[in-house]
């Protein structure tokens, strides 16, 4: 071949490569889906560069996935990227790597993005009996450039999709947090018959804890402390449904057992056993000073009166655990003046210190026995201070809701 013909041939190859890179860049700029980018990449390799076989593994969302292949057997598809290709950080000839000799590829090209390998391109068609140069060898720098452009575009699309999904999730959490804030009461009783204070500390943006104190008559109150399993918007929606059913049953004058049965039916219908709610529900009459309650698998509230402490344990299984309650036990306690009730969720009593010792009811009993806390808000402050001192350097692991009541 004359020098002029050789120059002309090289010029045509250069024009082809520039045109091909421009075509791929335009496809990326036009937001072509990942699978179509890989199809275009395959067409270039197979039909324009005449490379006999190719296989691409692409790392998406932290997992290696088979993204493209042609001219490849099932055995060759069985390559384990994490094992077989873990040591490859540069363009590598396969015959230099003993453990890969069973795989009939010739070259592996790792693709990097910000110093991280995001893809592996395996090529094969080198025939040692052929005198002419393999297209893999002739076009290796161009193939590497094209692979980098394609893989990075796919990686960016994956990251963009993950960011959008995270934005949607964040918005859902904001909505759930707003919804949860609307569920919790703005004001609690604080008069000459009943004094109530509440503290709520969500572990994440959206917690699963709920409390309410509902006045249904001049001398009658319902006290509720609940904890829904799970977090996020679905848990908040379930809790909203729970609150609506609770308030509906209370305002209709239904008894504790009937209210719990209705709540269980509602939770079961909405969650189908996938979520459940633990509940402490009590009815207090300020005239008779009688406290009736049902504990639905909730951490037992502590009642302190006359120097003694009672754990309110009578009740049933959690809401939504069974389609129908196997049993319901209702407890009742005759209160005396200045009795104090502390109801809480398990984020409080399961908080551990550096030795793994939980903040159990004995801590609460000691704080109730100390008469210098003043108001119920003061008692809650003392409890949270003691809890912080107890946990030391340990982080909170769950939501915490705390309701303290003084029955005057």
Could you give the number of structural domains in the chain?
2
Task: Tell me, yes or no, whether 148 and 193 share the same domain.
Answer: no
Indicate whether 285 and 145 sit together in one domain: no
For residue 171, is it within any domain? no
pLDDT recorded at residue 173: 72
Is 209 exposed, middle or buried (CB count within 10 Å of its CB: 0-12, 13-18, 19+)? buried
- Asked if residue 134 and residue 188 are part of one domain, the reply reads no
Residue 92 lies in a domain: yes
CATH number at residue 191: 3.60.40.10
**What is the C-alpha to C-alpha distance for residues 144 and 107, in angstroms, rounded to an integer?**
11
- Same domain for 98 and 224, yes or no, is no
* 7 shares its domain with 118: yes
Structural domain for 154, as ranges:
3-162
Question: Does 226 fall in a domain?
Answer: yes
The tokens 């335009």 sit on which residue? 26
Answer yes or no: is 170 within a domain. Answer: no
- Could you tell me if residue 299 is inside a domain? yes
In a domain, 86, yes or no: yes
Distance, CA of 25 to CA of 43 (rounded, Å): 15
Joined tokens for residue 195: 């004094």
**Are 233 and 354 in the same domain?**
yes
Last residue of a domain, one of 106, 130, 162: 162
129 lies in the same domain as 199: no
Name 108's bridge partners: 92, 122
Residue 237 structure tokens: 């929606």
Residue 71 sits in the same domain as residue 102? yes
Q: Is the residue at 172 inside a domain? A: no
74 occurs within a structural domain: yes
Q: pLDDT per position in the chain (408 positions), as tens?
A: 555 555 556 767 788 888 888 888 888 888 888 889 999 999 999 999 989 999 999 988 788 999 999 998 888 888 889 888 888 899 988 754 444 444 578 899 999 988 899 999 999 876 555 545 678 888 999 999 999 999 889 888 888 888 888 888 777 777 767 777 777 898 999 999 999 999 998 776 666 789 999 999 999 999 999 998 877 677 778 888 899 999 999 999 899 999 999 999 999 998 888 899 999 999 999 999 999 999 999 999 999 998 899 999 999 999 999 999 999 999 999 999 999 999 999 999 999 998 999 998 899 999 988 767 889 999 999 999 999 999 998 888 788 999 999 999
Nearest CA to 72 out of 89, 52, 88 is that of: 52
> In this structure, what CATH number is given to the domain that contains residue 85?
3.30.450.40
CB-CB contact of 81 with 98 (8 Å): no
Compute the distance between CA of residue 212 and CA of residue 200 in angstroms, rounded to an integer: 12
Clarify whether residues 154 and 232 are in a common domain.
Answer: no
Q: Are residues 126 and 236 in the same domain?
A: no
Compute the chain's Rg from CA coordinates: 34
Same domain? 78 vs 198: no
> Of 162, 192, 208, which residue sits at a domain end?
162
- What pLDDT is stored for residue 7 in this prediction? 54
Q: What string of DSSP letters covers 155-217?
A: HHHHHHHHHHHHHHHHHHHHHHHHHHHHHS-S---BSSSEEEEEEEE-SSSS--EEEEEEEEE
Whether 226 and 141 map to the same domain: the answer is no
Residue finishing a domain among 162, 194, 226: 162
pLDDT value, residue 101: 44
């Amino acid at each position: 071949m004359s020098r002029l013909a050789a120059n002309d041939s090289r010029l045509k190859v250069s024009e082809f490569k520039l045109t091909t890179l421009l075509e791929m860049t335009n496809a990326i700029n036009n937001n072509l889906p990942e699978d179509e980018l890989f199809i275009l990449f395959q067409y270039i390799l197979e039909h324009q560069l005449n490379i006999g076989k190719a296989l691409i593994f692409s790392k998406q969302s932290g997992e290696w996935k088979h993204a493209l292949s042609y001219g490849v057997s099932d055995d060759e598809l069985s390559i384990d990227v994490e094992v077989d290709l873990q040591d490859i950080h540069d363009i590598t000839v396969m015959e230099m790597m003993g453990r890969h000799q069973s795989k009939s590829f010739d070259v592996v090209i790792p693709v990097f993005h910000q110093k991280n390998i995001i893809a592996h391109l395996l090529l094969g068609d080198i025939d040692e009996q052929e005198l002419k140069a393999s297209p893999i060898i002739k076009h290796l720098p161009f193939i590497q450039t094209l692979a980098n452009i394609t893989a990075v575009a796919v990686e960016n699309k994956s990251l963009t999709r993950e960011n959008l999904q995270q934005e949607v999730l964040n918005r859902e959490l904001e909505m759930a947090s707003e919804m949860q804030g609307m569920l919790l009461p703005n004001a609690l009783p604080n008069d000459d018959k009943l004094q109530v204070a509440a503290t709520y500390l969500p572990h994440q943006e959206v917690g699963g804890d709920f409390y309410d104190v509902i006045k249904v008559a001049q001398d009658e109150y319902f006290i509720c402390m609940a904890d829904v399993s799970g977090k996020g918007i679905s848990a908040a929606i379930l809790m909203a449904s729970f609150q609506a059913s609770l308030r509906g049953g209370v305002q209709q004058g239904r008894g504790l057992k009937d209210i719990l049965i209705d709540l269980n039916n509602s939770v079961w219908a909405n969650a189908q056993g996938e979520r459940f709610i633990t509940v402490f529900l009590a009815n207090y009459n300020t005239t008779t000073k009688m406290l009736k309650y049902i504990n639905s698998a909730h951490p037992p509230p502590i009642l302190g009166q006359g120097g003694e402490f009672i754990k309110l344990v009578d009740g049933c299984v959690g809401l939504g655990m069974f389609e129908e309650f196997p049993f319901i036990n209702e407890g009742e306690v005759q209160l005396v003046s200045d009795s104090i009730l502390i109801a809480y969720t398990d984020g409080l009593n399961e908080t551990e210190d550096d030795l793994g010792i939980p903040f159990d009811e004995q801590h609460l009993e000691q704080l109730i026995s100390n008469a210098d806390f003043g108001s119920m808000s003061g008692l809650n402050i003392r409890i949270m201070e003691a809890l912080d001192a107890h946990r030391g350097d340990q982080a909170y692991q769950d939501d915490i809701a705390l309701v303290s009541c003084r029955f005057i």
